Structure 1
Amino acid sequence: MTNSPDVLLIIEDRLVDTLILTRFLGQAGFKVISAKSGEEGIEIATTMLPDLILLDVMMPGMNGFDVCDRLKNKNQTTEIPVIFMTALTDTLDKLRAFEAGAADYITKPLKHEEVLARINAHLKIRKLQRQLQIQNQKLQAEIAERKLAEARLEEANRELQRLANLDGLTQVANRRLFDRQIEQEWRRHLREQQTLSIILCDVDHFKNYNDNYGHLAGDSCLQLIAKGIQNALHRSTDIVARYGGEEFIVILPNTKTEGAIQVGEVIHQAIEILNIPYEHSPLKNYVTVSLGVASIIPNIALNPLDLVGTADKALYIAKAQGRDQVVYCDVVK
């Protein structure tokens, strides 16, 4: 028995571009449907629920940014990955795309091999996310007080909206909020005896990036990475913070080791497909990250610094092993 082909929706006003792309993707084994306007695309996406959407930015009437925003605000289509197809290359346009909820962007003129590679990468990420969602559903059934915990964490997340708790550059939580949140989560997980996990993420050879491209480009790079990490997290309870310099840290409440490692892999791949140019990198020709993962059921002999220190140790090992990878370490007192 063969699996049904993945369904792709192309929203593009240029018929020639649509026909060429439809033929290529059809030959690659996908089922392709298309729409010639943003309004038609939203209607088809809502009724047919494709696995992925290829969306043109510059269209008459509703542009691609508005279409993506509408799709992300609909319950039926909010989880469908959207890849922008655009001739726009300015960093602000790219940031605007991610703010609208896009998973990725491809610069026109399209290269079919690149289109296929990015589609396959995002379909793989989506499948991993679905597996995580299944695990989360099982976890919810096991935890009697989960609803109460979510209510408390939602209140904490609203705190993130306050300017004092945001990192000015990346607009994710700052170190101050992280320190407070990890203490709160540690106490709750100690009381409930549930697993608390964190991920420490470091941009590989970032000083060299700044030296070659300048600090303004470095700032833009960190903004894109922060957005990429946020887009890889799909629970309201998960929190990403800027830990310092080019380091980010993620709190994963009620997340066991296997789930935390899988989230780390999703983040790693999400940053990779951003394809931020880095010609001088000793690793690849785009920006990469190293990630250290640690998990623990808190006990009175340990404290949050033990968990953070273990994640830092895992990150150190990832760097020593060549960087651009995810490493997990057990917490040992």
Structure 2
Amino acid sequence: MSKSGLEPSQGNILVVDDRPDNVRLLSFMLVQQGYRVRKALDGQMAITACQTNPPHLILLDINMPDMDGYEVCQRLKANETTRDIPVIFLSILDDVLDKVKAFKVGGADYITKPFQFEEVVARVENQIKIQSLKLQLKQQNQILEQQNALLLKEVEKRRYAEVALQKANQRLQYLVVMDSLTEVANRRHFDECLQKEWHRCARDQIFLALILCDIDYFKCYNDTYGHLAGDACLKQVAAAISRAAQRPGDTIARYGGEEFAAILPNTNFEGAARVAERIKYEIQQLKIPHTASAVTDLITLSMGIATTVPAHRTSPDLLIAQADKALYEAKQGGRDRYCGSEIPVQVS
């Protein structure tokens, strides 16, 4: 038997009988088998003994004055401290109904008087073994519950770590593709998006528009207001352009320095012009002072628009060159405006 089991020398047995001779005889028999034996001569004494120091097994006489064995057993089974202690009834009564009643009130076994030594020992050993197995099972369940609790904690720690890692990866991905100052796409992401949209629009034979935006006289702005004010201006302008192009497929990027770009899939020249008008409106609403501007005393943008239906044999550089040319025309035309044109459709 394992260390968690009950060896005979560890068995703590309570013998309950109102007849001292029976108590002495049973005690002698059990001590000879290596059990530790305690004695009680009535029901109340037995209940008190069990509540004070619960035994591993109770040998309980049925026929006792004041409180019979049935009532003692019922009270023990009603108490959380003593309900799991097995009870072997001892009785001179051999009627089937008496035995049935004994099991109904919670008895584990039944020995008829006069008892035989071998029968008592066998039934006691059997109940001790059952109790030992129950104890082992209880201990194993406790160990499993502890291990399960530790496993749940480990699972929770790993889940938390996975969430933290996912957030870190998302943040890293964000840093890779976004401009840290303006929080719009950076030039690298712009190049990737334009290339991807160029091929997609060429496949679907739909329009692709590009708007290049340049803050008018931004160098003068930096020289007048300082670079911190210049950074704040770039942030506000980026946010304004983003508000003007809000479709899920649109991409706003910082093209370089004070230049921004808007990639507009499935957008012809008229649609791109409407977006340019919204950008101009949003910039006007910022009302950022620019006393060094030769256009007006507020921040303004010049914009160049290019649209086409891409072809697989051509490059998106064609769209960039046309938008850049249109931007130059807008600047030459007095700034604070947009210019542009639609590139003729190229046969794939």
- Give the structure-1-normalised TM-score: 0.51
Residue 292 of structure 1 aligns with which residue? 304
Alpha-carbon distance in 1 for matches of 2:190, 2:284: 25
Residue 223 of structure 2 corresponds to 211
Partner Cα distance (2:292, 2:311) in 1: 45
> In angstroms, what is the RMSD of aligned CA positions?
1.7
Counterpart-to-counterpart distance in 2, 1:304 and 1:292: 15
Q: Report the Cα offset of residue 307 of structure 1.
A: 0.3
In 2, Cα distance between equivalents of 1:211 and 1:321? 24
Q: Does 2:256 match 1:250? A: no
Give the 3-state SS of the residue equivalent to 2:311 in structure 1: coil
- 1:263 equivalent to 2:247? Answer no
Counterpart of 2:319 in 1: which secondary structure? helix
Match for residue 232 of structure 1 among 227, 232, 244: 244
Q: Which 4+ residue blocks in structure 1 deviate beyond 2 angstroms?
A: 158-161, 329-333
Task: Provide the C-alpha distance between the structure 1 equivalents of 2:293 and 2:312, rounded to a whole number of angstroms.
Answer: 44
- One-letter amino acid matched to 2:226: G
Give the CA deviation at 1:186: 0.6
Show CA shifts across 1:128-148 (max 9, x none): xxxxxxxxxxxxxxxxxxxxx
Task: Summarize deviations over 1:161-207 as a string: whole Å, max 9, x none.
Answer: 61111101101000000101111101111111000001000000000
Determine the structure 1 residue equivalent to 2:22.
none
Q: Give the match for residue 321 of structure 2.
A: 309
Paired letter, 1:284: T
Q: How does 1:47-86 map to 2 (within 5 A)?
A: none
Q: 1:297 to 1:160 in 2, by over 3 A?
A: farther
Quote how far apart the aligned CAs of 1:300 are. 3.4
Distance in structure 2 (CA, Å) of the matches to 1:237 and 1:267: 17
CA contact (8 A) 1:313 1:329 kept: no
Identity of aligned residues (%): 48
Helix, strand or coil at the partner of 2:203: helix
- Quote the residue 1:277 is aligned against: 289
* Residues 284-328 of structure 1: per-residue CA shift (max 9 Å, x gap): 111000000110001134210000110000000000000000111
1:268, 1:291 within 8 Å by CA — same for their partners in 2?
no
- Cα 1:283–1:160 change in 2 (3 A) is farther
How far apart in 2 are the matches of 1:193 and 1:164?
Answer: 31
How many Å separate the matches in 2 of 1:273 and 1:287?
10
Q: Does residue 201 of structure 2 align to residue 201 of structure 1?
A: no
The 1:160–1:178 alpha-carbon spacing in structure 2 relative to 1, beyond 3 Å, is farther
Letter in 1 for 2:241: I
**Secondary structure, counterpart of 2:295 in structure 1:** coil
What SS is found at the alignment partner of 2:340? Answer: strand
Q: Which amino acid aligns with 1:210?
A: N
Q: Show the counterpart of 1:132.
A: none
Distance 2:229 2:320 in 1: 29
Cα distance, 1:263–1:161 mapped onto 2, change above 3 Å = farther
Matches of 2:201 and 2:230 in 1, distance apart? 37
Give the conservation status (yes or no) of the 8 Å contact 2:187–2:253: yes
For residues 97-116 of structure 1, the C-alpha deviation after alignment (integer angstroms, 9 at most, x for no partner) is: xxxxxxxxxxxxxxxxxxxx
Residue 336 of structure 2 aligns with an amino acid whose one-letter code is D
Aligned length: 176
In the alignment, structure 2 segments of 5+ residues that lack a partner are 1-169
Q: Rg: which structure is higher?
A: 2
What's the TM-score, normalizing by structure 2?
0.49
Contact 1:159 1:165 (C-alpha < 8 Å) held by counterparts: no
